[in-house]
Amino acid sequence: MSAGVLLALDVSNSHTTIGAFEGDELVGHWQVSSDHRRTADEWWLMLTGLVRQSGLPAVQAAVMSCTVPAILVELRVMQARYLEDLPVSIVGPGVRTGVPIHTDNPREVGADRIVNALAAVELYGGPAIVVDLNGTATIFDVIDEQNRYVGGAIAPGVELSLEALARRGAQLRSVELVAPRDVIGKNTVEAIQSGAVFGFAGLVDGMIDRIIDSLGADPDHVTVVATGAFPDAVVDVCDRITTRDPWLTLTGLRLIHDKNH
């Protein structure tokens, strides 16, 4: 790769993870809010400002995954306005990944899920389960022993659930997401923390067990990767997570760029 960085954007509903690669090395990473009001010019100013502030070379290529239609429109405008002469990939139909998608409708699989599947196949091989824990959703993506993406599951995210609980529960409140002294809470705050931390850990472990049973795989030979902006308090008490890779999606984006350019 010539002098310059590959800019990788993973845009989800609540936040955007940005990575800068020099070759295969992730040399910078940032997280910002996914503001649907941000214009194409604002996106470009923010991205180039982050790269420049970090003392990195100029952007020479970009790869993007976006699950928010309103933001995707602005990213395409940004591409046409500022990246017209550079190699750019936007994950979607027509972009090569090399991972067979065995679902009822492959076109409806989210771009971020395809990216995670590719990274899991390349880094760990199947069978594997990617658990993407972010504020909005808890997403399980499944790769079988033949390295095919075969589907997954989507559950509410822990932060979204806590926000809904505080909003709808008259005598409940927002709490810090940390493990309480014991699973049996001795006060309201600890009771909510117990439900959030141990409850979601139970959800994650239970779903992993069911997915492994459905695959008919040996549990000892299934890699389970936690990624996303996962809350450490929850992942720390999960029994079935074997690997933590917070930058799995960024790695997958880099791999997609390599396969398409």
Three-state DSSP at 254 gives: helix
| Beta strands at 5-11 and 15-22: parallel, antiparallel or unpaired | antiparallel
Three-state DSSP at 147 gives: coil
Going from the C-alpha of 221 to that of each of 27, 129, 148, 240, the distances in angstroms are: 32, 11, 16, 12
Going from the C-alpha of 69 to that of each of 66, 75, 99, 219, 229, the distances in angstroms are: 8, 10, 24, 38, 21
Count CA atoms within 13 Å of residue 124 on its CB side: 27
Active site residues per annotation: 112
Distance CA 135, CA 157 (A): 5
Distance CA 154, CA 110 (A): 11
Residues 251 and 155: beta-carbon distance below 8 Å:
no
User: Considering only CA atoms, which of 198, 180, 197 is closest in space to residue 189?
Assistant: 180
Distance CA 67, CA 145 (A): 28
Distance CA 41, CA 47 (A): 10
